[in-house]
Structure 1
Amino acid sequence: MNFWLYGEPDALWLLLESIATGAVVAYTFNKVSVLRRLLIPRWVQTSAVDTAAHATFSQENASLTKDRNAVMIYVSVLEGEVRLMPDIGVQQKLHEGKLGEIEGKLANAQSGDPTELLCDAIKQLGECCRDCFPIEADDVNELPDRPQIRLP
């Protein structure tokens, strides 16, 4: 077996070295999300976030509430994107501009503290929904009021 320092490289040595280098690079890109995000086109990331947000909304049975008044905020940390998923009842009672304004603030997380922006969005949604969907005596909380964290 000839090494580069000692003359012509052996074909088998080059093959093994290429496989090892490729494995290390693939492992690194797989484990470091920032590098993985650089390789995936933006439109693919956006499409994946949209699909995942709709799937999660469906899996959580959010559209099965009595008044169709569920709202889900979907945060994708890897892609750095947020989706506001209001149910049909919320869309009918709230102005599209108000929902767009809240989602726009969430989308511009670079302009401030993301945690603070998320808390402000939840507060704004609560105020809007309180006006449109007043609490009645027989109301039951049909969905959990806590974050659902799913790791890949």
Structure 2
Amino acid sequence: MPFDPKTYLLVHVLLSLVGIFSGLVVVGGLIAGVRFSRWVGLFLATTLLTSITGFGFPFVALLPSHIVGALSLVVLLGALAAVYWKHLEGGWRRTFVVLSVVALYLNVFVLLAQLLQKIPALAVLAPTPAAPAFAATQGLVLVLFAVLGWAAVKGYGHRAGRR
């Protein structure tokens, strides 16, 4: 069966969107002080697969997307270790919360970068990553995720008894 780049891209995008949706559910739960185990598994798996499949696209040089993908893999491995190896004991609970929010942020960061690049109406506003609209959008998202991360640590990161 020949390699179909369009199908591969579709699978990659669907994994990313499922990862973002499930990540929002996970972070919402963490803010409320609850860990939804199945949602966590779905989020970590689809976000990990998104990062892995991102390296399957043809390229000739190292791109910023590869750096973000590599960073995402490191973050996800830490989150996976916190949940499945260290069982959220001690400081691993907070580590899991922080790394989960960072993994979701990186996925949303890439989504926004792709939207700003691929949708013509948005590309006019931010034709390159150096454009002020790109920086402003990503800056707002960074602030939003910093607030979400703080709320998630307050909601779930300090609660020793809940899993």
TM-score range, shorter chain: 0.3 to 0.5
Rg comparison, structure with higher value:
1
Please identify which structure carries the higher helix content: 2
Answer 1 or 2: higher relative contact order, Cα 8 Å, separation at least 6: 2
TM (norm. structure 1) is 0.32
